[in-house]
Structure 1
Amino acid sequence: MKYGLFFGDSITYGEYDGVFGGWVDILKRYALQKYNEGSNELILFNLGIGGETTEGLVRRISHEMEARNSAEGNWVFIGYGANDLAIKEGVQAVEPEQFKSNILLAVHQAKQYAEDIYLISILPVAEKTDGVQTASGKWRTMAEVVKYNQILRSIAAENDLHYLDFYSGFVDDKEVLLSKDGVHPNEKGYGIMAEMAIPIIEKYL
């Protein structure tokens, strides 16, 4: 069997989805259904941690992958940026150059175990949240989302990685696909993410 490892923050974890458990959990159920119908077995690990930035990712990715290393092959999703670009008390959690460095380091570590690596775009924020301080004291802007996504897209292109563009799937309908906080998807949004990712899953079935 092959392993799929999903690294990320609360959007990978599936926060704010009380119905389906988030896009990764939807994919886990899909893979199990296909296995029961006769497809290859895929084991998907949701390794999302709420609030995590790429600083946390580089500290744990090699340990997580060593502990979940399938002899038949591994593939990895890396979904970060929404917390990295957030500003609190005038300080950005992880500035663009450090974000780029962290992603490159994580990719280097992942390549020691994984045959395929997917970088995931950052989702847009709702209009009411764009540049507005939230209850947590953080604020995010669409301009920063675009900037950090360009970093991810460039890394993917320059390192022969896959780029999963959830941003484009959300941006025109973000007001109906994001939850009340304007940052996390709602159940419908997570469903859209799963639909976009299913063709990737099917390649390994």
Structure 2
Amino acid sequence: MGDSLIEYYPWEDRFSDHEVYNLGRAGETVEGLLYRLSEIVNNLPSPDCLFIMTGINNVAMEDMEFFSSYEVLLNRLKDAYPSSRIYIHSLLPVRIDFIDNSLIRTVNERLRVLAESFHVQYIDLYSLFSDEKGEPVEG
């Protein structure tokens, strides 16, 4: 669940041996995901795993107050799916003039701490998609 990076990736093809529900929405913010969470919970069977990648659209809108909404999101997911494993993905590095990747690294550190405090897994994708300077790799 998350934004366009989730929505437009062919998860069903990549993990064809699993039942995959792609809950990504282009342009979605953390608050947008939280807003539609009741609908998701009402329609989604209890998954083994939940993967979350959201927040970059908040960063793009200079909205750095989304962490409290992220906490509410995690609390509701843990309540709705107590046996599901929850994974928070880091934000990816970007090539967008008005977003500094140092800010994304700061956000990712806060997401890592948030994951730790909620006893969920944090997946650091940023490091896999950035060079030694922290900028996006080519290709």
Q: TM class, shorter-chain normalised?
A: 0.7 to 0.9
1:57 counterpart letter in structure 2: L
CA contact (8 A) 1:13 1:48 kept: yes
| Cα displacement string for residues 6-27 of structure 1 (whole angstroms, at most 9, x for unaligned residues) | x11010112xxxxxxx252343
Of 38, 62, 73, the match for 1:62: 38
Of 109, 115, 121, the match for 1:150: 109
1:84 counterpart = 2:58: yes
The whole-number CA distance in structure 2 between the counterparts of 1:170 and 1:25 is 22
The two structures have a TM-score, normalised by structure 1, of 0.60
Partner of 2:89: 120
CA root-mean-square deviation? 1.8
Q: Secondary structure at the match of 1:46?
A: coil
Count of aligned pairs: 134
1:49 counterpart letter in structure 2: R
The whole-number CA distance in structure 2 between the counterparts of 1:106 and 1:62 is 11
Structure 2 unaligned regions, length at least 5:
none
Please state which structure has a larger fraction of its residues in strand.
1
2:4 counterpart letter in structure 1: S
CA contact (8 A) 1:62 1:110 kept: no
1:8 counterpart = 2:2: yes
Cα distance change on mapping 1:26 and 1:166 into 2, 3 Å: farther
Larger radius of gyration: 1
Q: Percent identity between the aligned chains?
A: 29
Residues 21-170 of structure 1 mapped to structure 2, 5 A cutoff: 22=9, 24-29=11-16, 31=17, 42-70=18-46, 73-87=47-61, 92=62, 94-95=63-64, 98-114=65-81, 115-126=84-95, 129=96, 132=97, 139-170=98-129
The whole-number CA distance in structure 1 between the counterparts of 2:10 and 2:116 is 25
Q: Secondary structure at the match of 2:26?
A: coil
Question: Post-superposition shift, 1:174?
Answer: 2.5
Question: Post-superposition shift, 1:49?
Answer: 0.5
1:13 counterpart letter in structure 2: E
